[in-house]
Amino acid sequence: MTFSYQEEVFDSPSRRPWNEVVPPKPCFYVLRHAESEYNIGNHDVFDAPLSGNGKIQASHLYGHFDIILCSPMTRALQTLQCSNIIGDKLVLCHELREFKMAKADFLPFEEVVKETWLELEERFSVVLDAVVKLVSLGYKVLAIGHHQWFKRFTNGELVLKNAEMATIEMNVHELEEPAVKIRKIGK
């Protein structure tokens, strides 16, 4: 599979859209899904969709990305659908789905079997390998996922609110264990 990449060019920083953050090191962007039915107390639903408020939250999100990696869970997909985020390529990434611990974290046809922390951590390496390769090639990557996934992925350093975005800077030359620096993006 071959991708083409076009660098965004601005005449000066003052002409850069206000929401564009130009990080000093290679990074990827992470976005927690907007408010879901589970977040407002409806714990008896499979694959929790967005709440009405979540759809409004998502409508305030925007940006342009070369590649969007998105959890296949409804709340993540609806966050993207209700947003003004543009992606040149969308990849459904099952490794980004939420830690399987509540009914809302399972698809309607799945057996409810809770996941172990070790199983979740095994998914991290798949995503990290893909992101490191894409970022090192110059792609602007957004990963849309879930609270527990991002929190555990960053050893508790990153706790995102619903519809909150952050960047994770990486030293892509240290492929064994990339150095990570996290920066939340202001609203």
pLDDT digits (tens, 9 = 90+) for 102-143: 999 998 889 999 999 899 888 888 898 899 889 988 899 999
Q: Is residue 11 part of a domain?
A: no
Q: For residue 22, is pLDDT > 80?
A: no
- The SS3 of residue 144 is strand
pLDDT above 70 covers a percentage of the chain that reads 78
Whole-angstrom Cα distance, residue 122 to residue 114? Answer: 15
Whole-angstrom Cα distance, residue 149 to residue 98? Answer: 6
**In this structure, which amino acid lies at residue 91?**
V
Question: Tens digits of per-residue pLDDT, 104-113?
Answer: 999 888 999 9
Whole-angstrom Cα distance, residue 64 to residue 147? Answer: 22
Q: Is residue 72 part of a domain?
A: yes
CATH number at residue 69: 3.40.50.1240
Query: What local confidence, expressed as pLDDT, does residue 19 receive?
Result: 52
- Residue 63, domain extent: 29-184
Query: What local confidence, expressed as pLDDT, does residue 169 receive?
Result: 83
Q: Which of 65-69, 110-114, 182-186 has the lowest mean pLDDT?
A: 182-186
From residue 6, give the alpha-carbon distance in Å to each of 2, 13, 71, 78. Answer: 13, 18, 25, 27
Query: Which of 73, 79, 93 is CA-nearest to residue 50?
Result: 79
- What is the total count of domains within the chain? 1
Average pLDDT over residues 70-86: 97
Query: What local confidence, expressed as pLDDT, does residue 172 receive?
Result: 56
Residue 139 · residue 1 · CB < 8 Å: no
Q: For residue 48, is pLDDT > 90?
A: yes
pLDDT band at 91 (very low <50, low <70, confident <90, very high): very high
Q: Is residue 177 part of a domain?
A: yes
From residue 127, give the alpha-carbon distance in Å to each of 36, 95, 109, 110, 185. Answer: 24, 7, 24, 22, 21
pLDDT band at 183 (very low <50, low <70, confident <90, very high): low
Q: Is residue 155 part of a domain?
A: yes
Q: Is residue 51 part of a domain?
A: yes
Q: Is residue 62 part of a domain?
A: yes
Residue 144 · residue 79 · CB < 8 Å: yes
pLDDT band at 170 (very low <50, low <70, confident <90, very high): confident
User: Residue 86 pairs with which residues in a beta bridge?
Assistant: 64
Q: For residue 1, is pLDDT > 60?
A: no
Q: Is residue 17 part of a domain?
A: no
